[in-house]
Amino acid sequence: MNFKNFSLRKFKKPQIFALVAVFFAFLVSIPLLPLPALSNNTRANIQFVSPNWVAENAKDPNLRILDVRNFPLDYIEGHLPNAINVADTVFRGPKPGLPVQYWNTQKLGQIFASSGLTNNTRVLVYSDGRDVLGATMVAYLLERSGVKNIAVLDGGYAGYKAAGNVTKEFPKYSVGKFTVQDNPSIRVTLNDVRKLINKPGVTFIDPRPEKLFRGEEDIWIRNGHIPGARNIPWVTFTDGKNPHKLKSLDEIKQILADKKITPANDVIVSCSTGREATLQYVVLKHLLGYPKVRIYEGSWTEYSTQKDLPVETGPERAV
């Protein structure tokens, strides 16, 4: 057929309708090609790694090691080779009406860039002792900011020092170009919490010490816990001798089973200031594969100021 002078004006309406029908029949006959599957690289991964992992990956030019211990002389006295010291305390500060809140995304991006990170950097984070909470907090903020490959050193500085060589040399590096790619899906706001209290299928985990959970210590404006919350103090997930080292995942699974917490739950972890919550968040979501785990960043510091919200005291409800 010569299409050069082709025009629908030559056809009558019934003929036009017939041509349209043939055209759509032709389209339907074309097989649909499957859409490409989303790559797993679109999701962040946080893992706990051994000192051997550090040795195996030490020569990777794309790996940044963040020493987030808070006392500068600890870092100066000794640290992992090529580790950059950025105290976990620098990631938080005041906002009107509340202390110790996570900085806005712009400031978080500046901190990460100053530490030599880019959006494609692999990051290892470590601290020492009970400050494993600082390490998991920074790991959480890295995920929140769009970093995909994140590791926490199991056993922390003490565990590494017992197994590997430490140094006093300060690494030289270039300031990175880091653009925060905010991920709001891993956290909830105060307004979200208002809607989720006592909602079927939603479980609040409170990792604070038992006395704080029960409201037996007078610290906040109001003391107690979110109604229905399950109390799992964060230290129960860690080794008794070195709190920077996790218990076995089988032991942790049993702790959760005893509290009737399963992967089917929509889990919200809420603590004192949003720091303790990050350890259980990382374990449940990234190590155990719970599909829906989020953090209430404002935690009890914010919740306790809202006088219209309910507060429970005493032991947790019977399951």
DSSP 75-104: HHH-B-TTEEE--GGGGEEEETTEEEEEPP
Query: Is residue 190 within 8 Å of 298, Cβ to Cβ?
Result: yes
Pairing label, strands 122-126, 149-153? parallel
- Given the residues 80, 133, 271, 279, select the one marked as catalytic: 271
Question: Can you tell me the distance from the alpha carbon of 262 to that of 259, in angstroms, rounded to the nearest whole number?
Answer: 9
Helix (H, G, I), strand (E, B) or coil at 246: strand
Pairing label, strands 83-85, 63-67? parallel
pLDDT tens for the 319 residues of the chain, in order: 443 444 444 445 445 444 434 333 333 333 322 222 223 346 899 999 999 999 999 999 999 999 999 999 999 999 999 999 999 999 999 999 999 999 999 999 999 999 999 999 999 999 999 999 999 999 999 999 999 999 999 999 999 999 989 999 999 999 999 999 999 999 999 999 999 999 999 999 999 999 999 999 999 999 999 999 999 999 999 999 999 999 999 999 999 999 999 999 999 999 999 999 999 999 999 999 999 999 999 999 999 999 999 999 999 998 7
Report yes or no on whether pTM surpasses 0.75: yes
Which residue type sits at 235?
V
What pLDDT is recorded for position 42?
61
Largest distance between two CA atoms of the chain: 91
The domain limits of the chain are: 45-162, 187-305
Superfamily name and number for 45-162: Rhodanese-like domain (3.40.250.10)
Per-residue pLDDT tens for 165-212? 999 999 999 999 999 999 999 999 999 999 999 999 999 999 999 999
Query: Is residue 117 within 8 Å of 123, Cβ to Cβ?
Result: yes
Q: Would the CATH topology of 45-162 be identical to that of 187-305?
A: yes
Question: Can you tell me the distance from the alpha carbon of 170 to that of 67, in angstroms, rounded to the nearest whole number?
Answer: 12
DSSP assignment letter at 286? I
Question: Can you tell me the distance from the alpha carbon of 92 to that of 275, in angstroms, rounded to the nearest whole number?
Answer: 10
Report phi then psi at 284, rounded to 5.
-65, -45
- Is the CATH number 3.30.2230.10 carried by domain 187-305? no
Query: Is residue 98 within 8 Å of 298, Cβ to Cβ?
Result: yes
Active-site residue, 139 included: no
DSSP string covering 190-224, please?
HHHHHHHTT-TTEEEEE-S-HHHHHT-S--SSS-S
Query: Is residue 167 within 8 Å of 79, Cβ to Cβ?
Result: yes
What's the Cα-to-Cα distance from 4 to each of 1, 7, rounded to whole Å?
A: 9, 9
